[in-house]
Chain A
Amino acid sequence: MPELTLAEKLEILADGAKYDVSCASSGSSRRNKGGIGNGAQCGICHSWTADGRCVSLLKILLTNACIYDCAYCVNRRSNDTRRVMLTPAEVAELTIGFYRRNAIEGLFLSTGVVKDPDHTMELLIEATRILREEHRFNGYIHVKVVPGADLLLVERLGRLADRVSVNMELPSRESLKLLAPDKSREAIVAPMKRVGELIVQTKEERKVSRKIPPFAPAGQSTQLIIGASGESDLQIVSLAAGLYGQLAMKRVYYSAFIPVNRDERLPAVIGTPPLVREHRLYQADWLMRYYGFAAGELLDEERPNLDLALDPKAGWALRNLHLFPVEVNRAPLELLLRVPGIGVRSAQRIVGARRGGHLSLEDLARLGVVMKRARYFITARGRFAADLAPDAAGLRARLTERTLPRPRWSQPSLFDGAGTMDLQSTITGEL
């Protein structure tokens, strides 16, 4: 076969990397120390692709060759696709070339496993080292950890990168065994634990001396595939809660299963991927991280799956109608956050503005609080905003989205909480 051009290689390696949904570039404030680039704490989007997802990082594989044969993966060994590889220096050059044009915030480097996990990790570390040391690049770098690699290599990588991640992909041990027989749960969890420890430990050490290099300052993340195996939302949300709580995980990403391979171990998917379910899981995830909800408030053994027709916050409110309506001039912030249609920023704005005077319904409108859903749950100066207080069934009908929304993939908003929340402002005010 003829040697491929750099452009052709890039196409193949981008194709193999795009199913990894993380594209966040936030959380690092690395300064430009006599070179090029810096981290933007809030993250920056540079473009949006035809599926509506944001482009923030150059997301590529070092190679799409792989010794593993995971059922769901486009790069698995048994697929008859052309295998290509970039050198670490080529990865660095592409990154710098795009970065100088301000097309990206940095690099998200993943890879198939060549030879063995340790060898593959060495290549990833080398690409990162070239960027940091030879190009003096201080922009954002997110690198995948190869499950099964030596934990010392994981540590070296985290000292160079802004974020590291190990994808869990399948929510349970059984699914993993069935669909990714070459990877063990232990090989995935061990580096996650180590990364979690090092993040916490380094933060403490840096409080004493800033000379200690940061370790993955933008934290670690992971991804779960939704709908390739039989787990319930309760299992998935509980797992996510555990990852946030115990492993100092910064983000859990949910990726609707897209069948890229024909495989009898995988469910037959007809039509579009489970995008609405994915969207509801992101909403539940947000409620846990920013709204003070516990996993058990959203789901339990009797209702193990999220309602596809109703966002989880509205669902919770309907089950707890005895708490409403709340008076916006008195309710504590924690309760305001639980009102359907009132988001974090609206709630903070209300708390700020009510210090300056008793708020009326008109004031709320002026503050930009979206009343469409909130009006059934609040009063202002004792006045109820809706014309009537419907019962639970009536409310449910009013809060149900008539046509199920296509999940809107806007990464700065859905994934980072920093940007504007376009979808949520249309559905729930601001999620």
Chain B
Amino acid sequence: MILRYDGTFAGFLSAVALARDRSVQPESITDREPDQQGLFTTIEEVATDRDRAGELYALIRSTLPPGALQTLRYAFHASDPDRGTLLFHYLMLGLATGPRFNSMLAHEAVMPVWKLARAVGREAHRYKGLVRFQQLEGDVWYAAMEPDHRILPLIAPHFAARFADQRWIIHDPRRGEAVVFDPARRKWAETFLEVTAPLPLTAGEELFRDLWQRYFDRLAIEERRNPKLQRQNLPLKHRRHLPEFDGK
């Protein structure tokens, strides 16, 4: 049996709750399209039940040690299509184990989830530095990024604290998702966003772009030139939205 949920965390918890209620071991828990699944499996669509999800989450919170909760949250934002299934086994083991769960890192149900969480955490940390805002007319600061994982909600609190007086948008154009921050209410929210027209950049934006590019080019020490190391630290895929690599 395959349980299919709507991609939300509440949806995922609903699927886990359903499996627990019926004491079944689903073959997988996924949010992928049904046509990608095998021929002979039954697919059950799980309706998101916020109350059931809330109950289960309360149980998880009171049973799992804090580190495991963080791992759960980060791993859920991975783009790995198997994450639902991996997290299901992780949660079942965690709920059965309780506080001792933290010392089970070498367990086969724990390590893959821990690795997912680590990959997501690393990418989220990296993008705290790689998000680049541009000032648009109307005093809006816009940034585009294309991360591997769905890290928008994970990095939003960082930018909300740091740029609390700016109206900013961080946009993931590949997924069509964005986080929008309202400085008046000091709140951020997730939304769908598509940019179809050229961005209305301010005049100051041109100036600072030029300043930053010139500054960046001067910083490298010629005698220590090492593009291989530069690529290792900053792979090409991360450079697309960085002004210092514009046209390079």
Contact = CB atoms under 8 A, between A and B. Distances in A.
B118 to A, nearest CB: 9
Interface residues of A, number: 64
Interface centre among A15, A52, A56, A420, by most B CB within 10 Å?
A52
Interface string A371-413: 0000000000000000000000000000000000010111000
B230 A51 contact: yes
A100 interface: yes
A155 B216 CA distance: 32
Contacts, number: 171
B133 A101 contact: yes
Nearest to A406: B226
Given A352-B102, A353-B105, A353-B106, A14 B215 contact: yes
B103 A352 contact: yes
A273 B222 CA distance: 11
Contacts of B135: 100-101
Nearest to B102: A352
A31 B108 CA distance: 40
A247 interface: no
Interface in B150-188: 158-159, 161-166
A32 interface: yes
B221 A47 contact: no
A216 to B, nearest CB: 21
Interface string B93-108: 0000000101111111
A357 B106 CA distance: 9
A6 B208 CA distance: 11
A359 B234 CA distance: 36
Interface in B117-160: 122, 125-126, 128-135, 141, 143, 158-159
A246 B214 CA distance: 41
Nearest to B210: A7
Contact of B106 (A10, A94, A356): A356
Contact of A98 (B129, B212, B222): B212
A11 B103 contact: no
B19 interface: no
Interface string B207-248: 010111011101111111111111011100000001110000
A50 B106 contact: no
Contacts of A349: 105
A320 interface: no
Given A47-B234, A422-B232, A409 B212 contact: no
B70 to A, nearest CB: 15
Contact of A367 (B106, B122, B161): B106
A366 interface: yes
Given A35-B165, A367-B111, A49 B104 contact: no
Contact of A275 (B125, B218, B224): B224
A366 B133 contact: no
Given A38-B162, A101-B132, A48 B224 contact: no
B229 A55 contact: no
Interface string A313-330: 000000000000000000
A352 B134 contact: no
A14 B214 CA distance: 9
Contacts of A357: 104, 106
B231 to A, nearest CB: 9
A287 B90 CA distance: 36
Nearest to B158: A40
Interface string A263-277: 000000000110100
Nearest to B115: A368
A288 B60 CA distance: 41
A103 interface: yes
Interface centre among B104, B163, B211, B224, by most A CB within 10 Å?
B224
A401 B23 CA distance: 55
Contacts of A97: 204, 208, 211
B229 A409 contact: yes
Contacts of A32: 161-162, 164
A49 B128 contact: no
Interface in A190-223: none
Contacts of B141: 100-101
A273 B223 contact: yes
25 contacts: A14-B219, A18-B220, A19-B221, A44-B125, A44-B128, A47-B129, A48-B229, A49-B219, A50-B220, A50-B226, A51-B229, A53-B219, A100-B135, A101-B133, A101-B208, A139-B162, A258-B221, A349-B105, A353-B105, A354-B103, A406-B229, A409-B224, A409-B229, A419-B125, A422-B233
Closest 7 interchain pairs by CB? A52-B229, A356-B103, A355-B103, A50-B220, A49-B220, A51-B224, A363-B106
Interface of A: 6-7, 10-11, 14-15, 18-19, 31-32, 35-38, 40, 42, 44-56, 58-59, 94, 97-98, 100-103, 105, 139, 256, 258, 272-273, 275, 349, 352-357, 359, 363, 366-368, 406, 408-410, 419-420, 422
Given A45-B233, A100-B133, 10 more contacts: A10-B211, A47-B216, A47-B234, A98-B208, A100-B163, A258-B223, A273-B223, A356-B100, A363-B106, A406-B226
